[in-house]
Amino acid sequence: MSKRRGRGLRAAAVRLLSAFTMAFVVSCGTPRADPDGTMRPSIHEALDQQAAAWNRWDLDAFLATYEEDLLFASSGKLLRGRDLLERRYRENYGEEGRGVLSFSDLEITSLGPDAALTLGRYHLQKPEGAAHGQFSLVFRRGEQGWRIFHDHSSAEDP
């Protein structure tokens, strides 16, 4: 093979690789569309309902925003399943519940037509003081609507 032809093949390979790389970067860097325009409002509504349920200590309604097979990470522990999460909340907050829960600084990013990443902050005002921190949630849309599949919450030092 001549040097000239070898350089031409290398140049063509570099151009082809560059084109594939640009296509990949553009597809990954561009937020995916919310096909029916309901994702963000539906997730906001789910979180509003979750906070309202907590504030009246309706634990069943609070937990209904989670998938049965959820993954919950907090305080260095990993829980799999809504039943274990319910047990954790009952052990930590008793039967009457405590505090007023609110969410802020929500950022919702579509991961596809039926999945979204939500980042935000939680605030829990309790009689003995406040707790607050950050969270990342992965929502999935199913027959029951938008539900939390993954929750990673991190408390901040007081």
Chain segment 39-52, per-residue pLDDT in tens: 999 999 999 999 99
Residue 13: per-residue pLDDT: 40
66-74 and 145-155: which strand pairing? parallel
**Structural domain tally of the chain?**
2
Amino acid at 15: R
The arrangement of strands across the sheet holding 115-126 comes to 77-80, 66-74, 145-155, 129-142, 115-126, 100-112
Cβ contacts of 12 within 8 Å, gap of 6 or more: none
Residue 31: count other Cβ atoms within 10 Å of its Cβ: 8
- Percentage of the chain modeled with pLDDT above 90: 63
- Domain region containing 12: 1-30
* Same structural domain, 117 and 94: yes
Chain segment 85-120, per-residue pLDDT in tens: 999 998 888 876 778 999 999 999 999 999 999 999
Q: If you ran DSSP here, which 8-state letter would residue 81 be given?
A: S
The yes-or-no verdict on residue 30 having pLDDT over 50 is: no
Q: Which residue has the higher pLDDT, 88 or 158?
A: 88
* Same structural domain, 22 and 47: no
